[in-house]
Amino acid sequence: MDKKAIELTDANLEKDVRSSLKRIVEEQENGNLSLDNVNGINVEFIERDKILSVVDVIWELLSILHENIGGIKTYKSKNQFAKIVKYAKIACYNGEIVACATYRKMEDSFKMVAIGCNREASGKEGLQSIIKDDILKADYRFWAEVSGAIEHYFKKYNGYPMPNLLAPKILQVSEESIRISSKDLEHYERLIADEWYEKMIFGIKSEEVFQEALKAVDDYSKFMRDVNKITESANNGLRYTLKQAVYIVENIYRAHEEDGFNELVPSWYEALCEAKRTLIQSEKTQTAEDYLEYCDYLLETMPILKLHTLSV
């Protein structure tokens, strides 16, 4: 396999999650978190009565944003929308509503359901302001599960992605209904109406989830650094120690059994192969035999992650 391709795949796994979460911490510590308006745009959280007074405008903005992606699928009609939506945000510029988002009330947060904006620059900036408002509001927690074109908007306007390992907890669904992606730390597939859909989550549902996210990414990053360091030593002609081999197998086994990783990135595959050689050549102890068995299981069960051509 091409060495450059391997490096690109491994780098892609750490991607933006770590930097995104780190950015929140640094901004909090430096006192830089700000809700200053973007170019004079004001964001307002509204409830039922106010929503009904501007329902035509909100519906039009939702329709504009969704017109190129098959129309609004979340709501069957404007009449249904008017009956069920209880919470929304509107972004106003010069007294005009230019962007909006609707929400569903969860136990301890608000989950974004749909977003919309006009075709002008003010609409795009209004969306950016709403997303910023969602991320930085301290009194309520706002978050969104997105895919496709809407995912593009969140990435474009600097939304904060959450680690995919936390998806079951954030969504409050069973782990069986989630398939963790091996291509990065953000995406997962969710079983909806007997079909699997690729999704990712932006925003922070609660302080507890935020702390878990930091720990999850820290743990993963540390393991990747350790794997690379140990593998580099092996490439320089130094054999794994038994302790290093056990460490590699144990962590990849946990990632597979507990965290839902079903494919081996190339560096993990190389590390497992080297660990297997060390375990075979080590003193025949029960530990070595047990971890050799785990190692064989992982190599037989987990295929190597396939590389896909990326288009820019």
Exposure of 290 in the CB half-sphere (CA atoms within 13 A)? 7
Asked if the model's pLDDT at residue 48 lies above 60, the reply is yes
More confident residue, 195 or 265: 195
Cβ atoms < 10 Å from Cβ of 4? 8
Roughly what angle, to the nearest 10 degrees, separates helices 207-235 and 3-14? 160
Cα dihedral 296, 274, 262, 256 sign: positive
pLDDT the model gives residue 9: 37
Is residue 15 within 8 Å of 187, Cβ to Cβ?
A: no
Provide the percentage of residues in the chain whose pLDDT is more than 70: 72
Asked if the model's pLDDT at residue 68 lies above 80, the reply is no
Beta bridge partners of 116: 100
pLDDT the model gives residue 260: 63
Q: What are phi and psi of 40, to 5 degrees?
A: 80, 15
Delineate the domains of the chain, giving CATH numbers in brackets: 36-136 (3.40.630.30), 215-301 (no CATH)
**Distance between CA 235 and CA 237 in Å, rounded?**
5
Asked if the model's pLDDT at residue 13 lies above 70, the reply is no
171-207 pLDDT, tens digit per residue, is 888 888 898 876 777 899 988 778 888 999 987 666 6
Asked if the model's pLDDT at residue 132 lies above 80, the reply is no
Average pLDDT, integer, range 93-101: 93
**Distance between CA 187 and CA 182 in Å, rounded?**
8
Beta strand 195-203 with 142-146 is antiparallel
Whole-model pTM above 0.75?
Answer: no
Asked if the model's pLDDT at residue 60 lies above 90, the reply is yes
pLDDT the model gives residue 224: 72
pLDDT the model gives residue 215: 72
pLDDT the model gives residue 302: 84
- pLDDT band of 15, cuts 50, 70, 90: very low
